[in-house]
A = this chain, B = another copy of it.
Amino acid sequence: MKNIYSIGIGLIGGSLAKDIKALRPDVIIHGISRKDSTLEEALALNLIDKKATLDDLKNADLVIISIPVDATVKLLPTILDLIPETGLVVDAGSTKVDICKVVENHPKRRNFLAMHPIAGTEHSGPAAAISGLFQGKTNIVCEVEKTTFKLQEKALKLFSDIGMRIRYMNPEAHDKHIAYVSHLSHISSFMLGKTVIDKERNERDIFDMAGSGFASTVRLAKSSPAMWTPIFKQNKANVIETLEEYINNLSHFKELMKQDDFEAIYKEMESTNYIKDILNGIH
């Protein structure tokens, strides 16, 4: 694996490039982006060695796609057309059903590995790239059996080497479960931010009263709408289901308060405290 092409060099693509370069100094990272200014920034930050275009993909040993999931669905078939028989394409998208579906009958399907590295921050763009982001994190790999064994082996070795544990799952299970543990958190955070901002418009200075608890709970509301809108679109049915359950739980809590049933309120919280044990396993 000598020539790696990184399509999208923001938080995920840039952080992957950083870790891969640190691990394998002989590798050449070629950056591809819609915007030349992004490439220039990535060069200046030393995330990539060279600028490239899609036409250069004929020389690729590995292509890493880290762009919004709607753009991945659009570009992926073309990228597979362009790479050599010996090349592998992986994507890092937060949805897997639509992405796997768009290449299910592609003649080079076996040159594609569908992945979702569960790692990130609320920041975006090349400047958001950080070293060691993937250390100890989970990389979900879908439909592993559809990828040429030797190619998957090389890729999984690389992602293990940068610290990830690999978990296998089918695209449907991935999209269903990730709606709960990731997509819903983003919406809850965005809407919490909105609720408080709306209030702030009428009542000045309430943010002076906000502490670290509020900051933690709305942190994800800083996330990129360009990245998240297509995720919600592609995972619409699952996300709506989680939202309905979340709204029902909130409404139930509100009803208990209206009925002055604070014993039940106590129990609701007590039974959720169990999240402590769960979170101990998450970084």
Contact = CB atoms under 8 A, between A and B. Distances in A.
A206 B187 contact: no
B279 A246 contact: no
A258 B271 contact: no
A198 interface: yes
A221 B272 contact: yes
Contacts of A249: 191, 194-195, 198
A42 to B, nearest CB: 22
Contact of A220 (B191, B216, B253): B216
B188 A192 contact: yes
A53 interface: no
Contacts of A215: 279, 282-283
A45 interface: no
Nearest to A122: B213
Interface size class of A (residues with CB under 8 A): 35 or more
Contacts of A240: 254, 257-258
Contacts of A233: 260, 262, 265
Given A186-B213, A236-B257, A266-B225, A219 B279 contact: yes
Interface string A172-211: 0010111011101111111111111111100100111111
Nearest to A242: B195
A189 B214 CA distance: 10
A220 B222 contact: no
Contact of A213 (B197, B203, B220): B220
5 contacts: A188-B217, A197-B271, A211-B282, A217-B217, A217-B219
